[in-house]
A = this chain, B = another copy of it.
Amino acid sequence: MKSVIEKLSKEKSTQWPDFFNVISQELETVEENLLVKLSAKSKLLKEIVSYIFLSGGKRFRPAICLLMAKATGGIKDKHITVSEITELIHTASLVHDDIIDSAKLRRGNETINSLWNDKISVIAGDFLFGQASVKLGELENSEIVKIYANVLSALCDGEIEQYSLLFNPSITMEDYIRKSTSKTASLFAACCKSSAILNNQDLKIIKHCNNFGLSLGIAFQIVDDILDFISNSNEIGKDACSDLKNGVITAPTLFALNSPDERAKQIRILIESRFNNHEKDFNKAIKLVFELGGCEKAKQLAISHIENAKENVSFIKDPELKGCLLTVTEAIIKKLA
């Protein structure tokens, strides 16, 4: 294990995209705190946590949090802590998601459940949630404790809703957006909102920040779901088309299912039969989703949420910071280029 961690340490280069330049120093602090300052007593837990934070992750959420902090009055120490909390909760949920999805790869590296086992993954995820709680305690701000506690509940609601709706082609767009809000957007919204709260902004601005995070998060999830369809395994660092294979119905499939075209019924039947466990049936379903323009329509939906996100940062006066946040929103759609 030690050699794997050493290899990852050498490979690691923290090259942030240009639009993170204005917060690169603070982002570096967050990175360092995650890598070396988490207080696991056990050697094994320390090793696992190092592996987790060395094996990728773009620190997108902490960056958004810091940009929003800078745009709403400046970055304080507590914003650094909120950024860390956000990344800890995100990472913990990924570790537990990988158990739930029996995933073998994450960001091109083996998952914890694959490299160790499910039991270790349960504990490692719990530990990261625990560290997030420790940092929440350090904030000494009950409002933010409440916001993040509700995110934890939302994450579980989203995850169980996804589980309840596996291989169910009757899932509605409303179900999908609600699930994506719980599973993904709630955390984006929490960090944006908290940044404004810590800068003592008024309720109107706090609401704009919250809505920016919500819209951005939903768009982020839709794009992620499209990428699952259009990328190969090397590009996304995990199995391609794994969502539909596992019965998770996302925006592209939903649009295809909602098409008036006769082929929509075929997709429905294939999903209901769980592809009869045949690769052939599964590939046919994928082909039909593409034929019915599922990915293209999903992209349009993501763009509409991005537009919504953009409107919510129009209150920011500093042109450079507003520009950075707008570039962030566009970067999400550019992942599909």
> What CA separation (Å) do A68 and B61 show in the bound complex?
42
CB < 8 Å: which of B39, B119, B150 contacts A163? B119
Stretch binding the partner chain, chosen from A21-29, A132-140, A227-235: A132-140
Number of identical protomers = 2
Interchain residue pairs with CB less than 8 A apart (8): A41-B157, A42-B164, A123-B163, A126-B159, A133-B148, A137-B149, A137-B150, A140-B142
Which of A43, A136, A153 counts the most B-chain CB atoms under 10 A from its CB? Answer: A153
Query: Given A45-B156, A149-B137, A153-B39, A118 and B120 touching (CB < 8 A)?
Result: no
Check A133 against B149 for contact (C-beta < 8 Å).
Answer: yes
Check A156 against B123 for contact (C-beta < 8 Å).
Answer: yes
Check A130 against B156 for contact (C-beta < 8 Å).
Answer: yes
Give residues of chain A (113-153) contacting chain B, Cβ–Cβ below 8 Å: 118-120, 122-123, 125-127, 129-131, 133-134, 136-142, 145-146, 148-150, 152-153
Task: Tell me, yes or no, whether A160 is within 8 Å of chain B by CB.
Answer: yes
Q: Which chain B positions have C-beta within 8 A of A173?
A: none
Check B44 against A163 for contact (C-beta < 8 Å).
Answer: yes
Query: Given A130-B155, A150-B134, A153-B134, A160 and B45 touching (CB < 8 A)?
Result: yes
Q: Which chain B positions have C-beta within 8 A of A118?
A: 99, 118
Query: Given A100-B122, A123-B100, A155-B126, A136 and B160 touching (CB < 8 A)?
Result: no
Task: Tell me, yes or no, whether A307 is within 8 Å of chain B by CB.
Answer: no
Query: Given A41-B157, A137-B142, A163-B44, A126 and B100 touching (CB < 8 A)?
Result: no
CB < 8 Å: which of B45, B100, B126, B138 contacts A119? B100
> What CA separation (Å) do A41 and B182 show in the bound complex?
11
Q: Which chain B positions have C-beta within 8 A of A159?
A: 123, 126
Q: A43-B164, A45-B157, A126-B155 are in contact. List 14 more A-B contacts (CB 8 A).
A: A40-B156, A41-B161, A45-B160, A99-B122, A100-B119, A118-B118, A127-B153, A127-B156, A130-B152, A133-B136, A134-B153, A137-B150, A140-B142, A145-B145
A108 to chain B, nearest CB (A): 24
CB < 8 Å: which of B40, B44, B145, B161 contacts A136? B145
Q: Which chain B positions have C-beta within 8 A of A155?
A: 126, 130
Task: Tell me, yes or no, whether A96 is within 8 Å of chain B by CB.
Answer: yes
Q: Which chain B positions have C-beta within 8 A of A99?
A: 118-119, 122
Check A126 against B42 for contact (C-beta < 8 Å).
Answer: no
Chain A window 297-315, contacts with chain B (Cβ cutoff 8 Å), 1 for yes, 0 for no: 0000000000000000000
Check B163 against A146 for contact (C-beta < 8 Å).
Answer: no
A194 to chain B, nearest CB (A): 13
